[in-house]
Structure 1
Amino acid sequence: MIMRRLAVLTGGLAVLAAMTQPALAGAAFDSGDASIPVDGITQLEVHTTADCIPGENRCHFTARANLMTPDGPITFPNDLWARQTVTVRSMARNVWQEVDYSSPSWAPRETKGGNYDGVLSKMFRSPTNVEITNVYYGGGPLERFTVAGSSVPTDWNTGRPATDSDFIVCTNIQVVYSGVNLTSPSACSHTRF
């Protein structure tokens, strides 16, 4: 009788483990896209990626913007002024995001802000999220409109990496150039370790 109960219990635990394992081993990568029409053929697009790597206890992210035409993505015109906001956070209220980033993507890593190639950036921290604001003056290559960064989500209570929490990156951009003044919808990526 005891052996039968033990066998049933073991079998039940195996089924439970098999059912929950895919959720725990799910993809640690996500991407998000959003767009708004500029005119009849051009779209303003924003894109995000989030990739959490358990072995590093770190999540990597990108946020970028471009114009899209039938011929593919193109950069912005030279008379551009734009403000992009990137938000890095978790759904857990006790998780601090220890972020560093590059803006443009080829610039040195920052933890406060910078001014590289006409891209002014500033990072604002709060107990539960980080907001990076970029102001762009003029056009340039597509990479100029890309923010690349990483974060160590940290549990406020223990000071240890919060590898059991989720990781969210969102971005939007306001662009102003000849005859255009638009704000994109937000694009978000949501993943976990």
Structure 2
Amino acid sequence: MIGFVSIQPTTLQVIRAARLRFHHLLLLLGWLVLVGCRTAAPPPAPTSGAADVRARLLAELERWEGTPHRWGGLDHRGIDCSGLVVRVYQDAFGLTLPRTTEAQARIGRPVSRQALQAGDLVFFRLDRKNRHVGIYLGDGRFFHAASSTGVTVSRLDEPYWRRHYWTARRVLDVTEDAPPDRPAPTIGW
């Protein structure tokens, strides 16, 4: 017959095991405190109005100017017009806009050509099916990802753009007293 021998831990072994569990508990509590204190990335810095919007847009233009056009592209290897709008608004203002020109033309609120402000989206109807979007800089200028030249600055009064101008939408509420990082009321978003 085989017998079983019961081995009882010594008092010293019990104390060591309890101490080890206690140290593990302290480590776990310390880790939880550190993780609980961690914060997410800070939101975009508050802005002071139209001048700040324009400065942010010019900084984005500097980053993107000369990037080649690539349909469906979203990076510096190539970007399309609606992708440029998505990236600029995300990077400059922390706003996530729809990916397509059609969807972008339905957000924000309509704005007349005479009332354009820096940051407004300007849309062009190139033919029956194709649309194009750019970001208004002020003084009749906008930047966009043109299929022939890549990211560039153009003027609304150039014959081609004047002929194809369609509409404009305001996505940022910008006044001299209000920060532009509040999106305007949206339509169809």
Per residue, is there more helix in 1 or in 2? Answer: 2
Larger Rg: 2
* Greater RCO (CA < 8 Å, at least 6 residues apart): 1
The answer to whether TM tops 0.5 is no
Length-normalised TM-score, structure 1: 0.28
Length-normalised TM-score, structure 2: 0.29
